[in-house]
Amino acid sequence: MVTTEWLDIYDEQDQHLGICERSEVHRLGHWHHTFHCWLIRDTSEGRQLVFQQRHPDKDTFPDMYDITAAGHLSAGETFIEAAREIQEELGVPLHYEQLTHLLDVRDETIGSTRHGAFIDREVSSVFGAFSPYELQQYQLQVDEVSGIFEAPLQAMIELYQGTRDKVMASGVYTTDSTPMIHKLTVQREQFVPHEGNYCIDVFQKLLTL
């Protein structure tokens, strides 16, 4: 049985208009709210940025690297409740009280999926948090996430500033029967795109947490 997901929708001034099915929200281009959470980890090699790889069956941006955990706010849902995305996607118990609000951003993306065109208009509240977990400790949601990775935060800032073209990262894949660390290089083009200086602004705030 398929469960219909309902979202609160808003006008250009962020005034609440009502609720709408998620598929219709993206077809019609209604503004809606989302939750982003970027995790960081301090190590002997410096502060690391933790990010995920999207599952290949995702409708939008399959296989691309993305925010550590993110999701839509369902109708009537608060950010305290939305923090459940961290537990659902990554399998680690981080709670809303452990998060720091970094910024809010409006983002508009127009594209297409295997189901047709979409217009994604989001007002995203972006949070950051320290993760005490090593990569092998995450219990990833296998139908949503293909892997969990980390890379030096300063190097990621330089990647988005254009002063380097690739960054060395470490990661664990859900396809591994036993979690093991893989070394790889990542490039900006492999990450889900965001408008403006979203990533630079977020990463610089994470640097000072």
Q: pTM of the entire structure?
A: 0.93
| Whole-number pLDDT of residue 121 | 95
Which pLDDT score is estimated for 1? 55
pLDDT in the model for residue 25? 94
What's the per-residue H, E or C state across the chain? CCCCCEEEEECCCCCEEEEEEHHHHHHHCCEEEEEEEEEEEEECCEEEEEEEEECCCCCCCCCCEECCEEEECECCCCHHHHCHHHHHHHCCCCCHHHCEEEEEEEEEEEEEECCEEEEEEEEEEEEEEECCCCHHHCCCCCCCEEEEEEEEHHHHHHHHHCCCCCEEEEEEECCCCCCCCEEEEECHHHECCCCCCHHHHHHHHHHCC
Residues of the chain with pLDDT under 50: none
Q: Mind listing the pLDDT tens digit for each residue in 12-44? A: 999 999 999 998 999 999 999 999 999 999 999
- Domains of the chain, residue spans: 6-207
CATH of 6-207, one of 3.90.1150.10, 3.90.79.10, 3.40.50.300, 2.70.150.10: 3.90.79.10
Residue 196: per-residue pLDDT? 87
